[in-house]
Amino acid sequence: MFNDKSSLLETINQLDHGHHGSPVIALRENVKDKQSEVPIHQHTMGQLVFALKGGVTCQLPQSTVIVPPQCAVWIPKGVLHRVNATANAQICYLFVRPDMASLPQSGCTLSISPLVRELILDMSEQPHNYSDDLSVVRKALVLLEELGKMPIEHLSLPNPDDPRLKRIAKELFDNPADRRTLAEWGMAVAMSERSLARLFKQETGITFGRWRQQLHLIIAMHQLSEDYPVQRVADYLGYQSVTAFITMFKKSVGKPPAQYFAKLKQSES
């Protein structure tokens, strides 16, 4: 169990330079009363960041990935990333030998079943070098087999590369309540509305409107994981009413915020 970021990072660095041949290694961290950010880095093993409590946002080269409670982000080996956690979050880091699991080739959010959750928690209590303990090895292999079955949750935001789109994205991250239309953004970056729409779709694979909605979902997940009131989140995102915000949230994840997070809290207990 880690409460100090420096000791956690030191242990992670040691794992990267020698994982003892163990197929999977788990570490657990408790984030203190302030938000936590791990600087951009990469690993020689695949990494799963599992949010037991609170929320995590992971910045990848091509996307920003949401990790609400009871979900995890999968990061293949060698992929640069930055991890941000809400205050008082509880996180498990799972390090996976690349040759030991059938997992996606790109970063994504995975839904985690109760069985996989318990196996991850059990592995976090084990020594890193357990190759002589066959019972632990068997649990590790079951964990990897079950992990490969976990469904992908579409909770990511594509990051554009074009400097003009990066400017728009940064301004919207800094002020998500900004409701400028695509035509108004086009004027701000000296592009026609049609050209900007085409470029946005080309760079991100989705429309500007869909991208902004996904941005709002990322921010909402992060704030609601910290127990911010729904009214406060809706106001911060610039929604004219709580009802409009709840409609967006339900359309995106299938449940209104209260039901979505109530179900997650049941899983935590």
Task: Give the pairing type, strands 71-75 and 81-85.
Answer: unpaired
* pLDDT of 231 above 60: yes
**pLDDT over 80 at 36, yes or no:** no
pLDDT tops 70 at residue 6 = no
pTM of the predicted model, to two decimals? 0.79
- Average pLDDT on 106-122 reads 92
Q: Which domain holds residue 37?
A: 5-153
Give the CATH number, domain containing residue 243: 1.10.10.60
CATH of the domain at 105: 2.60.120.280
Strands (E), 68-225: 71-75, 81-85, 90-96, 108-111, 152-153, 156-158
Sign for the CA dihedral angle at 220, 222, 224, 230 comes to negative
Domain end: 103, 135, 153, which one? Answer: 153
- Please tell me the distance from the alpha carbon of residue 164 to that of residue 218, in angstroms, as a whole number: 22
- Model confidence over 132-151: pLDDT tens digits? 899 999 999 999 999 999 99
- Comparing 70 with 241, the larger pLDDT belongs to 241
Same domain, 246 and 177: yes
The 10s digit of each residue's pLDDT in 235-247 is 999 999 999 999 9
Q: How far apart are CA 192 and CA 244, in angstroms?
A: 29
DSSP3 helix / strand / coil % (the chain, rounded to 5): 45, 20, 35
pLDDT at 136: 93
> Per the structure, how many domains does the chain have?
2
Q: Which of 153, 168, 186 is the last residue of a domain?
A: 153
Give the type of residue at 79: V
